[in-house]
């Protein structure tokens, strides 16, 4: 793999061990043209958890992500895979849309009324009379980063197509070097193992013409070793 789990922050000896994983979401943004399927990648800064690594847009699920109303609902089968708690499942999806908007400038939205919102990004989206178009999100998989690290993530990965989105490529600056690359070219970038695994999963999806899979991956660790399963 391009970069292994030891590229993540090491355990803080003063912190509780193991650290509780923080709920987080990523939205993999794809486009298809005469060059084939391409994926949007960006580089985290030096002070980020995945410092100087290329990633998909994403971040932590905020408490306020459960407040706004989407324009359309997440596929019920996807929601059940994420959590038995429907509100929690929705929060993962909403966070992925918000983070993608903040970090790339692209919004997966449709006309709608957000209602109550919890932060400035949701306020901006509401001012456009748009709300997350969750029915355009597809599920990729679930990952939990190692128990040996000081900062851990309980992450859900989704994908969508850029033609379903509005906005212009840019974002907040949290990600630099934003660009669309072929799925295979993207694999040559410096990235952590979780990102690489999900990118390889997208290559498998492409090979199957993005048909809805029968099973979905979980990527994690057991006794310090990588562990994967499909259910």
Reported as a single tens digit per residue, the pLDDT across 171-205 is 888 899 999 999 999 999 999 999 999 999 999 99
Q: What is the DSSP letter of 11?
A: P
Instruction: Return the pLDDT at 149.
Output: 74
Total number of domains constituting the chain: 1
Quote the CA–CA distance of 139 and 216 in Å, as a whole number: 8
Domain containing residue 142: 5-230
Question: 3 falls in which pLDDT band (50, 70, 90)?
Answer: very low
CATH at residue 76: 3.90.79.10
What tokens does 184 get? Answer: 């295979």
β-bridge mates for residue 133, sequence order: 72
Residue 100 has pLDDT above 90, yes or no: yes
Residue 1 has pLDDT above 50, yes or no: no
Q: Give the residue with greater pLDDT, 111 vs 174.
A: 111
Quote the CA–CA distance of 38 and 77 in Å, as a whole number: 26
pTM, two decimals, is: 0.90
For range 133-140, the mean pLDDT: 98
Question: 7 falls in which pLDDT band (50, 70, 90)?
Answer: very low
Question: 211 falls in which pLDDT band (50, 70, 90)?
Answer: very high
Quote the CA–CA distance of 51 and 117 in Å, as a whole number: 30
For range 116-133, the mean pLDDT: 94
For range 146-154, the mean pLDDT: 80
Helix spans in the chain (H): 76-82, 86-104, 120-127, 183-186, 193-207
For range 16-45, the mean pLDDT: 90
8 A C-beta contact, residue 42 and residue 177:
yes
Instruction: Return the pLDDT at 17.
Output: 64
């Amino acid at each position: 793999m391009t970069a292994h789990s030891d590229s993540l922050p090491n355990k803080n000896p003063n912190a509780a061990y193991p650290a509780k994983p923080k709920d987080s979401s990523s939205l993999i943004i794809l486009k298809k043209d005469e060059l084939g399927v391409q994926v949007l990648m960006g580089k985290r800064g030096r002070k980020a958890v995945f410092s100087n690594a290329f990633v998909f847009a994403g971040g932590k699920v905020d408490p306020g992500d459960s407040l706004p109303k989407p324009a359309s609902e997440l596929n019920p089968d996807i929601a059940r895979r994420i959590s038995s708690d429907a509100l929690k499942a929705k929060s993962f999806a909403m966070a992925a849309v918000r983070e993608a908007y903040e970090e790339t400038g692209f919004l997966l939205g449709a006309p709608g009324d957000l209602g109550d919102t919890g932060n400035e990004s949701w306020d901006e989206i509401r001012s456009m009379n748009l709300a997350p178009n969750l029915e355009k999100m597809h599920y990729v998989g679930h990952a939990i980063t190692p128990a040996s690290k000081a900062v851990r993530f309980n992450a859900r990965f989704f994908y969508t197509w850029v033609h379903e989105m509005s906005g212009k490529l840019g974002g907040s600056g949290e990600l630099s070097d934003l660009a669309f690359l072929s799925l295979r070219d993207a694999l040559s970038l410096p990235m952590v193992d979780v990102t690489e695994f999900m990118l390889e999963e997208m290559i498998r999806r492409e090979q199957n013409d993005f048909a809805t899979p029968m099973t979905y991956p979980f990527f994690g660790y057991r006794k310090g070793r990588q562990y994967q399963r499909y259910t």
